[in-house]
Amino acid sequence: MSPPVGSAPAEYDMEYAQQDKDIMGLDQDSMAIDEKKEAPPYLEDAFGDEEHAEVKYKTLRWWQCGLLMVAETVSLGVLSLPAAVAGLGLVPAVIILVGLGLLATYTGYVIGQFKIRYPHISNMADAGEVLAGKVGREVLGVAQMLFLVFIMASHLLTFSIAMNTITEHGTCSIVFGFVGMVLSFILSLPRTLANMSWLSLVSFASILTAVIIAMIGVGISHPGNVVAATVKTDLFHGFTAVTNIVFAFCGHAAFFGLAAELKDPRDFPKALLLLQGVDISLYLVSAVVIYRFGGVDVASPALGSASPVVSKVAYGIALPTIIIAGVINGHIAFKYVYIRIFRGTDRMHKRDLVAVSSWIGIALALWILAWIIAEAIPVFSNLLSLITALFASWFTFGLSGIFWLYMNKGQWFASKKKIFLFCFNLFVIAIGATICGLGLYVSGKALHDNPSSASFSCGNNAS
Quick: pLDDT tens for 140-161.
Answer: 999 999 899 988 988 898 899 8
Query: 64-94: string of b/e by CB count within 10 Å (b at 16+)?
Result: bbbbbbbbbbbbbbbbbbbbbbbbbbbebbb
Tell me the Cα Rg of the chain. Answer: 22
452 band by pLDDT with thresholds 50, 70 and 90: low
Residues listed for the chain? 463
Q: State how far the Cα of 175 lies from the Cα of 178, in Å rounded to an integer.
A: 5
Q: Is 232 left (phi over 0), alpha (psi -120 to 50) or beta?
A: beta
Cis, bond preceding 190 (omega within 30 deg of 0): no
| Span 246-255, average pLDDT | 91
pLDDT of 342-351, one tens digit each? 987 888 888 8
Mean pLDDT score of the chain? 85
Highest-confidence segment of 178-182, 223-227, 294-298: 178-182
- Residue 103, pLDDT above cutoff 80: yes
pLDDT at 71: 93
Residue 13: band (very low, low, confident or very high) from pLDDT cuts 50, 70, 90? very low
pLDDT confidence of residue 43:
53
- Taking only the tens place, the pLDDT of each residue in 403-421 is 999 999 999 999 999 999 9
Position with higher pLDDT, 228 vs 377:
228
Coil, strand, or helix at residue 257?
A: helix
DSSP single-letter state for residue 377: S
CATH of domain 53-449: 1.20.1740.10
Exposed/middle/buried for 226, CB within 10 Å: 0-12, 13-18, 19+?
exposed
Q: Looking at residue 380, what is its pLDDT?
A: 60
Return the beta strands (E) in 37-187 as ranges.
none
Helices 62-73 and 197-221, axial angle in degrees (round to 10): 40
pLDDT band at 22 (very low <50, low <70, confident <90, very high): low
CA 357/CA 128 separation, integer angstroms:
29
Read off the pLDDT of residues 269-278 as tens digits, 9 standing for 90 and up.
Answer: 999 999 999 9
Closest to 292 measured CA to CA, from 220, 208, 240: 220
**Cβ–Cβ under 8 Å, residues 359 and 88:** no
What number is the average pLDDT over the span 173-182? 94
CA-closest candidate to residue 455, choices 387, 373, 382, 390: 373
Do the beta carbons of residue 5 and residue 120 sit within 8 Å?
yes
Confidence of residue 377 (pLDDT cuts 50, 70, 90): confident
Could you tell me the pTM of the whole model? 0.87
Sign of CA dihedral 420, 426, 432, 434: negative
- Confidence (pLDDT) at 14: 47
Neighbouring C-beta atoms of residue 39, cutoff 10 Å: 14
Distance CA 97, CA 368 (A): 34
Position 10 pLDDT exceeds 50 = no
260 pLDDT more than 50: yes
pLDDT tens, residue by residue, 26-76:
544 444 443 334 444 445 677 877 877 888 999 999 999 999 999 999 886
Average pLDDT estimate for 432-457:
81
H/E stretch holding 240? helix 235-247
Q: Give the C-alpha separation, 318 to 306, whole Å.
A: 14
On whether the CB atoms of residues 259 and 125 are closer than 8 A, the answer is: no
* C-alpha distances out from residue 183 to 83, 101, 171, 319, 366, Å: 29, 31, 17, 11, 14
Quick one: DSSP state of residue 3?
P
- How sure is the predictor about 5, in pLDDT bands with cuts at 50, 70 and 90? very low
